[in-house]
Amino acid sequence: MKQITHSIKPYLRWLILGGTLFFLVKTFKDRVTEITAITIDSSGWLMVAIGLIMTLIAHVWSGWVWTWILDSFNLSLGVWQGIKVYLLTNIAKYLPGNVWHFYGRITAISHKSNSLSAATFSVLLEPLLMAASALLIGIISTSLGWVKTDFNFLIFLGQIIGLIGVFVGIHPRILNPIIKRLSKSKKLKDGEKINNTSLQNYPIIPFIGEMGFVLLRGLGFLFTFMALQQITLSQIPALLSAFSIAWLLGLVVPGAPGGVGVFEATAIALLDQSLFSPATVLVVVAIYRVISILAEAIAALVAWIINYLILV
C-alpha cells in the first residue's frame, strides 16, 4: 500500500492542478459572454489599487508576525532583518516545489543560530498558525451560515479535531521535547555541541497575528470585489469567510505553487451564485491573483532596495 501511495504521490499535484484548471476553464467557457461584458471604471480601478495596498500591508504584517515567532524561539533576527528575509523569500513559493521560501528562511536563521531543528520548526510553525487561523475563521463562518456548504458532520468533526490537534501540538510541552530530540540526534551525529533553543511560551500572540494577516488579505479581496460589484454590509462576512476557506485550501492542498487554481476554484464554488455572479467572481479572483503576486513582488523589491541602500 505504501509503495502504491509513494508511486502516486508525484502525480497527485498535477492531478489536482489539472482538475482545478479544467473547472476554471469550463466556468470561463460557460460565462465568456458575461465576462467580456464586464468593465471597470475609474472608481473601480481605485478599489483595485486599495486592494493592492491592503494585500501589500498584509504581507508586511505577516513578516512582522514571523519575527514574533522567531522571538518565541529566541532566534530573533531583529524586526527589520526578519521582515526583510520574509519578504525576499516569500516570492520563492511560486517556484516548482512550493518549498523554496521555507528553505531560504531556514538558511537565514541557521546562520544566526546553532540549531537547525529549532530554525526549521520556527519556519514551519508560521504556515501552521496561518492554516489554523483560517480554519478557525472557516469553522465560525460555516457554523453561523455566512458561507453555505453541504453540512457533513464527519467533515465538521474532522475540522474541530484538526484545530484542537494544532493547538495541542504547538504547546511548548509537546514541541520542545521533539526539537530537543532532533537537535540532540543531529549534534551527536555531527559531533557538535548541543544547543538548547526551544519554544519559550505558547504562541497565542502569533496566532492572533496570523488571524490578522488572513483578515487583511480578505480585505484586499473585498476591495477587489468592490471594483466590479457593489456589496452590502450583510455580504461582507460571506465574502471574508469564503476568502478564508479558499485561501486555506490553496495553502494546504498540494496543487500548483502558491495555491494557484485551488484558491480560484474554491472561491467560485463557495460564493452564492444568487448574490455573486460566477462571471464576476471569476474576474475578481483572476484580478486578485495578479494583485497578490504583484504585492509580493513589490514587497520583495522594496525590501531589496532598502537593504541595498542601508548596506551602501
pLDDT greater than 70 at residue 114: no
pLDDT greater than 90 at residue 221: yes
**311 membership: H or E segment, kind and range:** helix 278-311
The residue with greater pLDDT, 132 or 190, is 132
Report whether 282 contacts 25 (CB < 8 A). no
Of 21-30, 47-56, 215-224, 232-241, the range with the lowest mean pLDDT is 21-30
Domain limits of the chain?
Answer: 23-149+203-311
pLDDT digits (tens, 9 = 90+) for 27-84: 556 555 655 567 788 898 999 999 999 999 999 999 999 999 988 888 878 888 889 9
The residue with greater pLDDT, 5 or 165, is 165
Work out the percent of the chain whose per-residue pLDDT is above 90.
19
Mean per-residue pLDDT, 124-132: 89
pLDDT digits (tens, 9 = 90+) for 28-38: 565 556 555 67
**Pairwise CA distance, residues 50 & 63, whole Å:** 20
Q: Other CB atoms closer than 10 Å to residue 211's CB: what's the count? A: 19
Of 40-54, 97-111, 141-155, 197-211, the range with the lowest mean pLDDT is 141-155
> How confident is the model at residue 191, as a pLDDT?
44
Mean per-residue pLDDT, 133-137: 90
Report whether 248 contacts 85 (CB < 8 A). no
Give how far Cα 288 sits from Cα of 224, 228, 242, Å. 7, 12, 14
pLDDT greater than 70 at residue 171: yes
Cα 292–63–312 angle (5° rounding)? Answer: 100
User: How many CA atoms does the CB half-sphere of 238 hold within 13 Å?
Assistant: 20
Cα 129–131–133 angle (5° rounding)? Answer: 65
> How confident is the model at residue 146, as a pLDDT?
77
> How confident is the model at residue 213, as a pLDDT?
94
Work out the percent of the chain whose per-residue pLDDT is above 70.
75
**Pairwise CA distance, residues 231 & 281, whole Å:** 13
Mean per-residue pLDDT, 254-276: 72
Give how far Cα 195 sits from Cα of 74, 121, 178, 236, 312, Å. 12, 14, 13, 48, 34
> How confident is the model at residue 238, as a pLDDT?
87
Of 6-20, 115-129, 174-188, 284-298, the range with the lowest mean pLDDT is 6-20
The rounded mean pLDDT for the chain is: 78
pLDDT digits (tens, 9 = 90+) for 148-167: 766 667 777 878 888 888 88
Please give the full DSSP string across 140-202, using - where no structure is assigned.
HHHHTTSS-----HHHHHHHHHHHHHHHHHTSHHHHHHHHHHHHHHHHHHHTPPP------S-
Task: Tell me which residue has cell 468592490.
Answer: 226
Give 25's pLDDT tier (boundaries 50, 70, 90): low
Q: Other CB atoms closer than 10 Å to residue 27's CB: what's the count? A: 19
Give 312's pLDDT tier (boundaries 50, 70, 90): very low
**Pairwise CA distance, residues 291 & 297, whole Å:** 10
Cα dihedral 282→285→288→289 (10° resolution): -110
Residues in the chain: 312
